[in-house]
Structure 1
Amino acid sequence: MKILLAVDGSAYTKKMLAYLATHDEMLGASHDYTVLTVQAALPPRARAALGKEVVDHYHAEEAEKILAPVFKFLGRHGVSPSRVVKVGSAGETISKLASSGKFDLVVMGSHGHGALATLVMGSVATQVLAHCKVPILLIR
């Protein structure tokens, strides 16, 4: 099975990884894993003032802070995933990659905000659910 793990470095990412570790059928060398993290784009004026090289370095550093512990965890479980780092809207980017990469499953942690908080703030999980045609496993 080709599985996309969407991670953001939060406690919910850790819960998602813990869930995978306790379900042998979900975590193992028999699956093909890709770990995705999506960085929010800097405002256009900030990007222009800093320059492309500085902005790219910033995004790479931030992504590495998120991905390093995930890769360490997966490595301890005998999993060697590929990595994808994108910049943009998280929900939209996850959905697009899931479809274009022909993934069988998207796994991600959910913050579990209530209906009112989701209405006011929006939710990456809600966006992915609304736009993704690939099955999604949300870990709360």
Structure 2
Amino acid sequence: MKILLAVDGSTYTKKMLAYLTTHDEVFSGAKEVTLLTVQSPLPSRARAAVGKEIADGYYADEAEKITAPVVKFLQRHGMNPKVIHKVGSAGEMIAKAAEAGKFDLVMMGSHGHSALGNLVMGSVATRVLAHCQVPVLLVR
């Protein structure tokens, strides 16, 4: 099974990882795991002021802060994940990566906002569900 794990470093990511590693009956067989983290783009003026090289370094550093502990955790559980980081709108980038990579499943933690919270703040999970053609497992 080819699984895309959308990670953001939150406690919801930790819950999703715990679910993945404790439910072998659901995820039996060979697991090919890829981590994806998406960084919000810097404002265009800030990006122009610091330059492409510094902005790209910032994105890479932020992605590493999020993915390094997850990689360590998964390696302790016998998985050797690939790591991808993107810049853009998280919901759309996760959906695009899932389809482009021909994944069997997208897993992500969900903050579980109320309907009003989703209306006001939006929801990455809602966007992924709306745009993704790959099955999505939300862990809350």
What corresponds to 1:11 in structure 2? 11
Q: Is the 8 A contact 1:28 1:77 kept in 2?
A: no
Judged with a 3 Å threshold, the aligned counterparts in structure 2 of structure 1 residues 28 and 76 are, in CA distance, closer, same or farther, namely farther
What is the TM-score with the length of structure 1 in the denominator?
0.96
Q: Deviations over 1:22-79 (max 9, x none)?
A: 1013567711111000000001000000101110111111000000110010000010
SS in 2 for 1:73: helix
What corresponds to 1:66 in structure 2? 66
Q: Is the 8 A contact 1:28 1:79 kept in 2?
A: no
Aligned-partner Cα distance in 2 for 1:11–1:87: 22
What corresponds to 2:132 in structure 1? 132
Q: Deviations over 1:75-121 (max 9, x none)?
A: 00010011101000000000001111110000000000000000011
Judged with a 3 Å threshold, the aligned counterparts in structure 2 of structure 1 residues 29 and 9 are, in CA distance, closer, same or farther, namely farther
Judged with a 3 Å threshold, the aligned counterparts in structure 2 of structure 1 residues 26 and 77 are, in CA distance, closer, same or farther, namely farther
Structure 1: give runs of 5+ residues left out of the alignment.
Answer: none
Aligned-partner Cα distance in 2 for 1:10–1:97: 20
Percent of residue pairs identical: 70
Aligned CA RMSD, in angstroms, stands at: 1.2
Residue type at the aligned position of 2:102: K
1:122 aligns with 2:122: yes
What is the aligned residue count?
Answer: 140
What is the TM-score with the length of structure 2 in the denominator?
0.96
SS in 2 for 1:137: strand
